[in-house]
Amino acid sequence: MLWDIFCKVIDNHGDIGVCWRLAADLGSRGESVRLWVDDASALAWLAPHGASGVQTHGWHEADAATAGDVVVEAFGCDPPAPFVERMPRMAPAPVWINLEYLSAEAYVERSHGLASPVMAGPGRGLTKWFFYPGFTERTGGLIREHGLMQKRAAFDASQWLAEQGIESLPNERLMSLFCYGDAPVEALIERAAASPTLLLATPGHASRLAQAALGPSMRRCLLRCIALPWLTQPQFDRLLWACDLNFVRGEDSFVRAQWAGNPFVWQAYPQDDGVHLEKVDAFLARHLDDAPASTAAAIKSWWTWWNGAGPLPRGSDGGDETHAWETVSKHWTQSLAAAPDLTTRLLGFVKKVR
């Protein structure tokens, strides 16, 4: 099938990150994909070699295009009106999907797969379908490329670090940092500096905040920090695989941290009225469902603090619960990996509604 994926880059890199990953995954399965994006600049470092089956186009080039078999608007971004105007005249009309935001909240299961009649505008009369990524069988699942878990199992962290020119010292704990501008990085550094730590900070807010906290030396007590260059998506995966503790944010890196199988702390995209904290709580309720109470409490205290809703946790980065946290993370990854991935479910869904 020919897929049209529409992506508007609002802020940060999550929009293009998710859309590119979906496009590439579809392309790897033999689908033809046109990715229509208003700002493709991040692809220069995120995916410099492109992907098989995927063509990238400027947003307004779609004004003159006719839709393929499936149209995906990512995160409700409303494709250009001229493109949509031609859709009702097609026979058959393309399957129109709104790829929604990921959440562990209960409403996702209730809303996933529902029709959304288009009652106004250029697409009037068509039906859009809401497709929600999620963590359960009753949602759209999570993007997971074929062979990902095998690559993860075969990964050699030492070799990869060496290839990146990163030397980790004996007993040094590796932490990755990818965060929004209001993350309490100074406090994290102050806490982490009590133990041998190599902090790998991604470009943007993470590096900026780390450099502001550490100064030119990029060191404090037992903590060293390296400001990383922009990484491709596969290389970012390997960063997460190599680290003992990952601080991630938004949607794409949040999912990738779960495939890494290592302890991680997620910073949710901040929203009005603090509603993002409900999303954090909803995820933790699922993620920690089988965890021992003390482990769950320790993990929750880190997540709550990192999202600005609680005090700095006691102990050092999980302390006595470190091993238990690793077990929780691995168990979670295994359970997610046992379920069909998002692209598989999306293909099945399109086949059903077509």
Instruction: Examine residue 313 and say whether the peptide bond preceding it is cis (omega within 30 degrees of 0).
Output: no
Spatial separation of the C-alpha atoms in residues 76 and 329, rounded to whole Å = 31
Q: Active-site residue among 4, 15, 145, 244?
A: 15
Residue 42 is a binding residue for another protein (CB under 8 A)? no
Closer to another protein by CB, 126 or 328: give it.
126
Specify the amino acid at residue 166.
I
Cβ contact 96:71 at 8 Å: yes
Name the minimum Å distance from CB 11 to another protein. 8
Q: Active-site residue among 100, 145, 237, 251?
A: 251
Cβ neighbours, 10 Å, residue 284: 18
Spatial separation of the C-alpha atoms in residues 154 and 174, rounded to whole Å = 19
Name the minimum Å distance from CB 192 to another protein. 28
Active site residue 317: no
Closer to another protein by CB, 12 or 295: give it.
12
Residue 252 is a binding residue for another protein (CB under 8 A)? no
Angle between helices 233-242 and 252-260 (to 10 degrees): 50
Binding part of the chain for another protein, among 93-101, 237-245, 286-294, 296-304 by CB under 8 A, reads: 93-101
Binding part of the chain for another protein, among 30-38, 98-106, 190-198, 317-325 by CB under 8 A, reads: 98-106
Q: Which of 44, 91, 120, 338 binds another protein (CB under 8 A)?
A: 120
Q: Which of 82, 121, 229, 348 binds another protein (CB under 8 A)?
A: 121
Spatial separation of the C-alpha atoms in residues 149 and 330, rounded to whole Å = 12
> Helix %, strand %, coil % for the chain, to 5?
45, 15, 40
Spatial separation of the C-alpha atoms in residues 55 and 4, rounded to whole Å = 10
Residue 107 is a binding residue for another protein (CB under 8 A)? yes
Active site residue 251: yes
Name the minimum Å distance from CB 75 to another protein. 7
Residue 76 is a binding residue for another protein (CB under 8 A)? yes
Residue 162 is a binding residue for another protein (CB under 8 A)? no
Closer to another protein by CB, 22 or 242: give it.
22
Spatial separation of the C-alpha atoms in residues 113 and 111, rounded to whole Å = 6
DSSP conformational letter for 316: S
Name residues contacting another protein, limited to 258-287 (CB under 8 A).
269, 271-272, 274-275, 278-279
Q: Which of 56, 98, 295, 329 binds another protein (CB under 8 A)?
A: 98
Burial 225-257 (b: 16+ CB within 10 A, else e): bbbbeebebebbbbbbbbbbbbbbbbbbbbbbb
Closer to another protein by CB, 191 or 345: give it.
345
Name the minimum Å distance from CB 138 to another protein. 14
Name residues contacting another protein, limited to 56-75 (CB under 8 A).
75
Q: Phi-psi bin for 61: left (phi > 0), alpha (psi -120 to 50), beta?
A: alpha
Contact residues: another protein, CB under 8 A: 10, 75-76, 98, 100-103, 105, 107, 110-111, 114-121, 130, 251, 269, 271-272, 274-275, 278-279, 309
- List the catalytic residues: 15, 251
